[in-house]
Structure 1
Amino acid sequence: MTSTRSLSPRFAYKSDKLKPLRAFCQTARLGSVSRAAEALYLSQPAVTLQLQALEREMGVRLLERSGRRLALTREGEALYELARPLVEGLDGLEGVFRERIRGLDAGELNVAAGSSTILYLLPKIVEAFRAAHPEVRLTLHNVTGAGGLDLLRSDGVDLAVGSMLDVPGDLSYAPVYRFEPMLIAPRDHPLATLETLTLQDLSPYGLILPPQRLTTYRMVDLVFQQNRVPYTVALEVGGWEVIKQYVAMGLGISIVTAICLTEADRARLSARSLADYFPSRSYGVVVRKGKYLSPQARAFTELIQPALFERGDYYATGQSDR
């Protein structure tokens, strides 16, 4: 009959599993009992006893001499691969714990947002948050679409800020502001002086649009198709700043969301509202339903609406969706 004791190995040397494993890992790493003893501040006989106890409990040879060094046997390599992260993790536990405690005291906040949101919408919000909570480590994750939703669902971020057209059932979206769709063109462009604008007026001119996979391109295509107005795309390029620069150079016209237009842009571009044809875009906060928001996350969301009012954006509707 097999005894219970044989099924549950126990280290005989001082009934401590960590000490023999630590001695084994140091010996494997340094290739010498004497060096391992120096690293552990032990005597060589003490390290030798721990290695012998470990081999007895495992029932195999773990080390063998190879020239002037001790080398791992096949079984020793297998154990070393398993034991090393355990020993290193335990030895470093106090430092990691204290670092984690400091993090809890200060707090941290992870926010997902797309490039346009980070560039145009969040600067004043981040500035205000940093001034009010300098001890909090804030990380902005530049992700959009499915990547941002995955981070939300896996708790990789506390919240997301951006625009959503379709809201999945497991997420909650609180829109804060709406921005109008705008036609941008060079200031001397024929469209800049028209009293009113129609889709037919835009038809002869090449459009500079974001890539087809993005919402703006799909929305522009949908509106022109629904109104049976032909259009041409002169250039596809990513990034509102690049699009605005190319429009200013006279390479085409574009349809953008007002969030990306600044006072400086008004000096070099003609910007006309296309709200009669294209829907406005809302921007707000996205969280996972049922998720508890930390004090840091709540403080950040509370700053969003006041910061937008301070911005005084010329092209925003100026009306909260709440």
Structure 2
Amino acid sequence: SEMAADGSVDFAIATEALELFSDLIMMPCYRWNRCILVPRDHALTQRSLVTLEDVAAHPIVTYVFGFTGRSRLDEAFVEKGLEPRVVFTAADADVIKTYVRLGLGIGIVAAMAYDPDKDADLVALDASHLFASSITQIGCRRGTFLRGYMYEFIQDFAPHLNRALVQKAFQCHSRVELEELFSHLELPVY
């Protein structure tokens, strides 16, 4: 987001800390939630429904704070009065999976990061009942002249963000106006 704000790159695609960049026009793309990754023989695979207390009882490997929806995870533990035992953090889901495979803890990652074919040695336990969903957004600097290919990229990434809607977003003068503009959207869930 910082690079988009200073003009080094055309777009920012982000989930967190967007309020720090008031000069970016951010548009919602999709909702996503998390899963818990464990080895096939892990005790949590025997639970019909994993609780936050179950998760807190294990060492956790997850995203770096301020990255990829990590604050939603932390908020869930705080609300329950639990202290997560985060033993390792990484910015990349593949690194987290490697740590899980090494037995360093259970992984909490974006559900879309689990590939049943490539990750057949791991079990993905649904965690959507434990954590609030996150919204990934795309945006660029206010005042940017959007070229045709830029509109196409935005719409390829988020099909509901057509040229007319993006143009309306760029006419908004505040985050409140932007939120109002997009309040009617039914975002895809991944």
**TM-score, normalized by length of structure 1?**
0.45
- Of residues 262, 278, 292, the one that matches 2:115 is 262
Amino acid at match of 1:206: P
| Structure 2: runs of 5+ lacking an equivalent | 160-185
> Is residue 161–residue 284 contact of structure 1 (8 Å, CA) maintained in 2?
yes
- Give the Cα separation in 2 of the matches to 1:157 and 1:185: 37
- Give the Cα separation in 2 of the matches to 1:224 and 1:278: 9
- Of residues 88, 93, 111, the one that matches 1:235 is 88
Give the deviation of 1:264 after TM superposition. Answer: 2.8
Give the match's secondary structure for 2:35: strand
1:169 corresponding residue in structure 2: 22
Amino acid at match of 1:288: R
User: After superposition, what is the alpha-carbon deviation per residue over 1:69-122, rounded to whole angstroms, capped at 9, x for unaligned?
Assistant: xxxxxxxxxxxxxxxxxxxxxxxxxxxxxxxxxxxxxxxxxxxxxxxxxxxxxx
Shift in CA distance, 192/282, structure 1 to aligned 2, threshold 3 Å: same
Give the deviation of 1:281 after TM superposition. Answer: 2.2
1:303 corresponding residue in structure 2: 156
Amino acid at match of 1:271: A
User: After superposition, what is the alpha-carbon deviation per residue over 1:130-166, rounded to whole angstroms, capped at 9, x for unaligned?
Assistant: xxxxxxxxxxxxxxxxxx33x3233322222232454
> Is residue 247–residue 253 contact of structure 1 (8 Å, CA) maintained in 2?
yes
1:251 corresponding residue in structure 2: 104
Matched, 1:159 2:8: no
| Structure 1: runs of 5+ lacking an equivalent | 1-147, 307-317
Amino acid at match of 1:277: L
> Which has the greater radius of gyration?
1
**TM-score, normalized by length of structure 2?**
0.72
Shift in CA distance, 206/154, structure 1 to aligned 2, threshold 3 Å: closer
Give the match's secondary structure for 1:156: coil
User: After superposition, what is the alpha-carbon deviation per residue over 1:247-284, rounded to whole angstroms, capped at 9, x for unaligned?
Assistant: 12322102111232223344121112222221222223
Kindly report which structure 2 residues correspond to 1:58-207, keeping only aligned pairs within 5 A, or say none: 148-149=1-2, 151-164=3-16, 166-167=18-19, 168-207=21-60
Give the match's secondary structure for 2:36: strand
| Identical counterparts, % of pairs | 26
- Of residues 263, 274, 280, the one that matches 2:133 is 280
Give the match's secondary structure for 1:241: helix
- Of residues 144, 152, 158, the one that matches 1:291 is 144
> Is residue 181–residue 281 contact of structure 1 (8 Å, CA) maintained in 2?
no
Give the deviation of 1:191 after TM superposition. Answer: 0.7
2:188 corresponding residue in structure 1: 320
Give the 4+ runs in structure 1 shifted more than 3 A: 164-169, 210-219
1:208 corresponding residue in structure 2: 61
- Give the Cα separation in 1 of the matches to 2:13 and 2:90: 23
Shift in CA distance, 154/231, structure 1 to aligned 2, threshold 3 Å: closer
- Give the Cα separation in 2 of the matches to 1:180 and 1:217: 11
Give the deviation of 1:190 after TM superposition. Answer: 1.0
Give the deviation of 1:299 after TM superposition. Answer: 1.8
User: After superposition, what is the alpha-carbon deviation per residue over 1:166-201, rounded to whole angstroms, capped at 9, x for unaligned?
Assistant: 444332211211111111111111111211111111
Kindly report which structure 2 residues correspond to 1:216-231, keeping only aligned pairs within 5 A, or say none: 216-231=69-84
More helix by share: 1
Shift in CA distance, 218/320, structure 1 to aligned 2, threshold 3 Å: closer
- Give the Cα separation in 2 of the matches to 1:217 and 1:153: 22
- Give the Cα separation in 1 of the matches to 2:39 and 2:28: 32
Give the deviation of 1:217 after TM superposition. Answer: 4.4
Give the deviation of 1:296 after TM superposition. Answer: 1.8
Give the match's secondary structure for 1:256: strand
